Structure 1
Amino acid sequence: MFQFFVAPEQIGEKEAFVTGSDVNHIRNVLRMKPGEQMRISDQQGRDVLCEISQADGEKITLKILKSCEGTEPPVKITLFQALPKGDKMELVIQKAVELGVSEIIPVAMRNCVVKLDKKRAENKCIRWQAIAESAAKQSKRSIIPRVGPVHTFEEAAEYVRTMNVRLLPYEQERGMAHTRKVLGNLEKGASIGIFIGPEGGFASGEIEMVKDDMEIISLGNRILRTETAGMAVLAMLVYEMED
């Protein structure tokens, strides 16, 4: 079943409607007809199952059949992802959205191979946000996770301090006992920040800067790629937190 996002005012008591670019996608790409069903969300906690009643003009008119249970995890997760090489960021965003992240902050760290000027960073973020929206539709999210602008390490370190729990997987940390303890003590409703380093690893100065503010954890005895590490932490959080 297809999922779409609308503004809160587009969902009434008995009817809802879809406008904008999704109209063309529904009508001409998916070729959906009256009588077919879809799920829509207002991103503010209301998810409904609908049936198309009219699909012409500049909007799709829907009959609301019933409310749906939300799909959001009981914690708000922000992934601070070091800029990876190539198109790996696209994969990271797609999979992180599927696993329940609420926000993704790209971070330019000292050992990042990729260097983006302001214009390229802005264009990348536009594309990354579109990927997040597509992944949110595919995975039936109740929100579209936000992809923030590219942060410096210092900016990201300041932002993560606003969160209840701050996790930093580090390849030089060994032993899963501490990781299990930290994850086992998480409470529903918490805000969680996850710092993931680049291909070259965190610089020693970066670790020094945040070591007193972060829970430095291990992800096991093997060295994970930057695009794997965040997914590993997110999967652990899904296991620990979701009913």
Structure 2
Amino acid sequence: MNRFFVRKENILEDEKKLFINNRDDIKHISKVLRLNKGDILEICNGEKREYLAEIREINKDEIECKILNSMVSKSEPEISITLFQSIPKGSKMELIIQKCVEIGVKDIIPVISKRCVAKIKDVKSEDKKLERWNKISLEAAKQSKRGIIPKVGRVIKYSDIEKIASNYDLIIIPYELENSVGIKKVLKKSGKFKNIAVIIGSEGGFEEEEILEAVNWGAKPVTLGPRILRTETAGLVALSVILYELGDLGGN
């Protein structure tokens, strides 16, 4: 069943109805999927609540639906993971966003680290990229039936992570020169937590001083195994291992 996100103010639970007024969604429902009155949609408010809704009326500006049922989304991990991703070259960031949203990331923050080749020219260029990246996140959230739409935040400098490091119970930073401590060991030693940050380097990885800087914030350098992973693979692997170890992927 197709999933769509709507704003909370478009959901009138007391009246058992909701409205879809996003032009792209209206076009997709009516022109691409060719759905009609009486067809059923899966709707989410982006805050872990979802609805089964029956189409009542379709016009060019709005689709009105009757709410048949509502429930709390079961697709969200209990743990909140933020990915700090050093910006890679080309379109790799798009793949990273798409797959990490599918896996279960909460937020993605693009980072400029020392070995980043990709550059953001100006605010206008950044705004254009963020619009594209957040659209990819939205589409991935629909496809994977997420209960939220993970946000891709504004680009920050690597050193700026220190300012928000205290927001996280655990910070993990995969590093190719770490060969003894893995994510599993760190999770067992660190106890219970609600918010985890994962910091991933660009194509050239991290410089040693960046790792030392992160350790000063409280970050834990870890190995992802004996093979060197690409930047577009490392975050996905790290998230997968964390969620598996915490019982979210692959069952308890």
Q: TM-score, normalised by structure 1?
A: 0.93
CA deviation profile, 1:3-46 (whole Å, cap 9, x unmatched): 11111122223221211222222112222111221111112232
Shift in Å at residue 215 of structure 1?
1.2
Q: In the aligned structure 1, how far is the partner of 2:60 from the partner of 2:116? A: 48
- The residue aligned with 2:3 is 3
Provide the residue aligned with 1:227 in structure 2. 232
Match 1:19 to one of 21, 30, 40? 21
* Runs of 4+ residues deviating >3 angstroms: 184-189
Q: Which residue of 2 aligns with 1:64?
A: 67
**Structure 1 residue 57 displacement after superposition:** 4.6
Q: Does 1:208 align with 2:232?
A: no
> Which amino acid in the other structure matches residue 81 of structure 2?
I
- Cα RMSD (Å): 1.7
Report the secondary structure of 2:12's partner residue.
coil
Secondary structure, aligned partner of 2:162: helix
Task: Give distance in 2, aligned partners of 1:40 and 1:20.
Answer: 13
1:50 aligns with 2:49: no
- Structure 2 residue identity aligned to 1:204: E
Structure 1: gaps (5+ residues): none
Q: 1:156 aligns with which of 140, 143, 161?
A: 161
CA distance in 1, matches of 2:132, 2:192: 32
Partner Cα separation in structure 2 for residue 201 and residue 16 of structure 1:
47
Contact 1:74 1:188 in 2 (8 A): no
Contact kept, 8 Å, 1:76 with 1:189, in 2: the verdict is no
Kept after mapping to 1: 8 A contact 2:184/2:245 = no
- The residue type paired with residue 2 of structure 2 is F
CA distance in 2, matches of 1:125, 1:157: 22
% identical aligned pairs: 43
Using the TM superposition, name which of 220-229 and 115-124 deviates more: 115-124
Deviation larger for 14-23 or 85-94: 14-23
Q: Which residue of 2 aligns with 1:112?
A: 116
- Corresponding residue number in structure 1 for 2:93: 89
Give distance in 2, aligned partners of 1:148 and 1:141.
18
| Letter paired with 2:27 | N
Aligned 8 A contact 2:112 2:157 in 1: yes
Instruction: After TM superposition, give the deviation of residue 137 of structure 1 in Å.
Output: 0.8
Paired residue total: 242
1:130 shift after superposition:
0.7
Question: Which residue identity is paired with 1:40?
Answer: I
Aligned to 2:241: 236
Amino acid across the alignment from 1:227 = E
Give 2:127's match in structure 1, choosing from 122, 126, 133: 122
